[in-house]
Structure 1
């Protein structure tokens, strides 16, 4: 079954019978004359989005047009029944024109005849409006039900997305607050080695550099690490070579996945450090801005990570925070 999307709008179509009858109108308390009729207009590209099949779209549209057409003819007849001669009403397009109806001639018995004529016209109009509403009723109920279902589905999808976003934020915040990260450079111009101290045994890079965690090298959180590396990239006179322990990257991705958050290490790092990082051979690498161009570079935006958490920033480089060793 082919599904398409259409737009619907529930409109209160105003009948305004008293204004149409003009000075010939005499209210009859015994007649319940409807003032408005609710009709779902089918609007391609506009209105509230609603899934339907092409056959449903056509049937809904034809039913609305038929109802409005019948109401238009009933109002025109109502006008003529009150002595009017020139009128055109098209509730489908909203267009119409008419000449006004003046006061009836004051012949003997004119008021009684005016009351009787208006009462008959009101009864006929009420009957025609009732039939039009009754015939349109099944389609109106069908569209109303479909609209309610579509709204419920959109609301459920939005709530599920919000729950997923909150869960994602909770998992990433918990990981970002763990003090398991360590970074160290052997000297100016040397690569910056980044590893996790909670993984068993030293990394191959640490062994090669002779680096080890001592008492004066306290592990930091991921956010503190992000501040430190961003600040290092801002101060650097040449591209910074950051080498991430492969085990640290794999462990972080595994922890995200264990929390039902599927992220690559680069995506996880973007959440903490901002988008000004690119994939490198040994993990995320900061985009290098030459010193002469930094004055004209966009200023960083502080106040939250790219996914809405606390700490970090949304773009550019960080100028404060943890400064490294």
Structure 2
């Protein structure tokens, strides 16, 4: 069988598969922004707790059941047809990606006329080729990764002192409690011993909270005391939320890898070159953004993961905007006080 005749024979099934894939892809386009509008965004990999699969609507499920009943694979001829269809559809996808790289490359005329986000050419895993780093970027990235590798250790005097510093910044007019006291729950720790809440957040999440309290004290206090908007009866715990945000940022920016290759991670490298405290400032932006999402969704404690997922989505979109050379250029930065 010649290649041309094969294409002709299986052209319709290939088109059908591509169209079905397009419809499936469109179902995965979603985003709830702070203003309640729905924006298109591709799901990206990240925290395990944020990666539950999207559910199809009822009509889609019923259609799939009907197709299964009407088109059983009951003979070898249909199995062979599926085999060839799969092969040719993959060839078409590979050819299309190659053509996109050639025609839409940054050096081509069309590439200069049409502006596509870097993730558009590789939507499957949102990975791009990491750029070469300047000596300054290498140094700052290495320093940040070293911070991320430090776990919180409640037996270390340095870590104990950091917890005490956070309390004094949060409650300057109150007496410092012991390191194990129910008073810590008022700050949003889940128990009387804050050291049990860090887990994957590490010591950097405590540093992020201290930085937030020192750099943007007004925003920190308003979030700590839940002073903005109409709050839920069952609110998110402030301190534990901060730990989750630190962990989410490390995953989103691909900082555990040797060199970030996610779209957001590569964008962040530029911000890091501009300011060595870019991660800490981004933490403050993300925390303020998360609270805005929380209020807009009128969320309660059990919806925290959904709010954090929406926050990540919005933050990824802002990092991908053009003319963003520092964290302070992000639109959400203006929410900080």
Q: Normalising by the residue count of structure 1, what TM-score does the alignment of the two structures yield?
A: 0.17
Greater length-normalized contact order (CA 8 Å, ≥ 6 residues apart)? 2
Which has a greater percent of strand?
Answer: 1
More helix by share: 2
Larger radius of gyration: 1
- Give the alignment's TM-score, normalised by structure 2: 0.17
